[in-house]
Structure 1
Amino acid sequence: MVPNLRQTELLAEVRARGSISVEALAEKFGVTLQTVRRDVQRMAEAGLVARFHGGVRVPASTTENIAYRQRQALHAEGKARIARAIAQRIPAGCSLILNLGTTTEAVARELLKHQGLRVITNNLNVAMILADNPDCELVMVGGVVRSRDRGVIGEAAVDFIRQFKVDIGLVGISGIEEDGSLRDFDYREVMVARTIIEHSREVWVASDHSKFKRPAMAEVARLAQIDALFTDAQPPEPFPSLMRDAGVELVVAD
């Protein structure tokens, strides 16, 4: 297709933000929801954008995540709600592992007043945040530091985590596909996440609404391997049914 002026501007807005709701696009360009949906449908058919429930994003890659700084800005309000919901469920005096992702970093900020925590993390950003909590014992995982997001990955990180068994493992992911698989992009990161799952008594997943139906190359786990999934909006079908069948608690943060 050859986009018209409005569609070109809409496409530029999506690319600038990485992801945006249909309602926000309609408000920005002063058009109806139906007009935006028609534009989005045409551009999606041409491969210029990708649709998800209630919004639109840059076309998904199954091999590479979007840039860290862009992910920080995406769905920040929803991630904050998820973080508050998770923090409210974490009791004082428990042990947990926080892995990579901007949502887990939001959770770390909500834990600054928790007492008696023992937190293991392979996320330098999480460590820098929680270092300001004097009532939290912080254990930093060793390994290779991925410079673009300060994540610690690789075989050394896997071996380090295998020393522990924690009360809660909190895992961030990049995509949940309709076959019930939780997915991510970097296989070295995936190996660390799998180890966290294996060495946690309870496994919680933090995932904003844009992750549903988002493809990624490497499988982290299946829904049946986790205990609870925290998100910021009711997920589309078939995910509620898949989670019920797998015995996963779905927590939608208001």
Structure 2
Amino acid sequence: MMKPEESSLLAVERQRIILEILDREGVVRNAELKELLSVTAATIRADLRELENAGYCEIIWGGAVSKRPHMAGSERFLFERSKLNPEHKRHIGKRAAQLVEVGQTIIVDAGSTTVELIRHLPRDLEYLRVVTPALNVAAAAAHFPSIELVMTGGILRHLTWSLIGPQVVRALDIINADWAFLACGGFNLEQGITTSNMLEVEIKHTMLKRAARVALLADSSKFNRTRSLTVAPLQELDVLITDIGLSDADTDRIKDHGIEVIRV
């Protein structure tokens, strides 16, 4: 495909090309779009923001994923997300794993970052109970003979490989956990922890309620991004584990609300 001159494409034409890639692949990457469309990174970000506001995609670190469920690419939503910014996800998951102690019960939310926590647990771990509604988390935990894996049951949401529904809430509601490790669609000090799916709100809220301590695992691209539904105020967190992209000023603002911030 020939690379168009920057002046030859209007915003609507660029966005049509981006949508075609999203429909075909399920994911786009900023660096590739910048080269393909011969525009600046700022222009790509603006185009993706317009498409996100229109409901076509969700911006993630380094690109965007399709939100159109009738497209085949969106079925690879979780898989494609795991391919983007894997280094930060691994660092965040590895640091979260260091919070876990032998004999604890932990609740692990669905996500491409939370699963890295499980993957970075020590192989000689003596005993740990892991409670999760996430298929990818369960699959990772199944490789540890010393982990007692508790799956919540529920209805599979293909987009995130997670189980949803009242069964999940009922299963979580009898758990007394030492830690809950949450994922999110966005977070800030005003709207708190946010997500886009109504059924996930009650599940995440129950995770918060049933754990003695709560950690949010989220890269810095999700800070000051707001999804349509609030799970809980940010102040309900004990720990935020993110990457070094979160500025010193924003880190201090979050710490001022009594939240421990770990940047990796």
Band of TM-score, shorter chain:
0.7 to 0.9
**Length-normalised TM-score, structure 1:** 0.78
- Following superposition, the deviation at residue 197 of structure 1 comes to 0.3
Q: What TM-score do the two structures reach when normalised by structure 2?
A: 0.76
Partner of 1:134: 145
Alignment of 1:66-215 (within 5 A): 67-111=77-121, 113=123, 114-215=125-226
Q: CA deviation at 1:90?
A: 1.4
- Range with bigger deviation, 141-150 or 96-105: 141-150
Q: Distance in 2 between matches of 1:68 and 1:54?
A: 13
Aligned to 2:40: 36
Q: 2:9 aligns with which of 3, 8, 11?
A: 3
Q: Do the aligned partners of residues 38 and 201 (structure 1) sit closer, same or farther apart at CA in structure 2, a change above 3 Å counting?
A: closer
Q: CA RMSD in A?
A: 3.6
Equivalent pair of 2:18/2:28 in contact (CA under 8 Å) = no
Secondary structure in 1 matching 2:40:
helix
Aligned to 2:255, the other structure's residue is in SS state: helix
**1:8 Cα deviation (Å)?**
5.0
The reply on whether 1:220 has 2:244 as its aligned counterpart is: no
% identity of equivalent residues: 25
Indicate conservation of the 8 Å contact 1:100/1:172, yes or no: yes
- Aligned-partner SS, 1:215: coil
Aligned length in residues: 242
| Unaligned runs of at least 5 residues, structure 1 | none
* Whole-angstrom CA distance in 2 between matches of 1:125 and 1:54: 20
Cα distance in structure 2, aligned partners of 1:131 and 1:55: 30
Q: Secondary structure at the match of 2:143?
A: coil
Contact kept in structure 1, 2:134 and 2:163, CA below 8 Å: yes
Cα shift at 1:245: 2.2
Counterpart of 1:219 in structure 2: which amino acid?
A: T
Contact 1:171 1:204 in 2 (8 A): yes
Q: Could you say if the C-alpha distance between residues 188 and 90 of structure 1 is closer, same or farther in structure 2, counting changes exceeding 3 Å?
A: same
Q: What is the CA–CA distance in structure 2 between the aligned matches of 1:54 and 1:149, rounded to whole Å?
A: 17
* Counterpart-to-counterpart distance in 2, 1:222 and 1:168: 18
Q: Relative contact order (C-alpha < 8 Å, sep 6+): which is higher? A: 1
| CA spacing shift, 1:89–1:182, aligned 2, 3 Å | same
Which runs of 5 or more structure 2 residues have no equivalent in the other structure? 1-6, 54-58, 69-73
| 1:229 is the counterpart of 2:233 | no
Aligned residue identity for 1:94: Q
Contact conserved, 1:206 with 1:229, CA < 8 A, in 2?
Answer: yes
1:132-154 per-position Cα deviation (integer Å, ceiling 9, x unaligned) = 10111111112222133321111
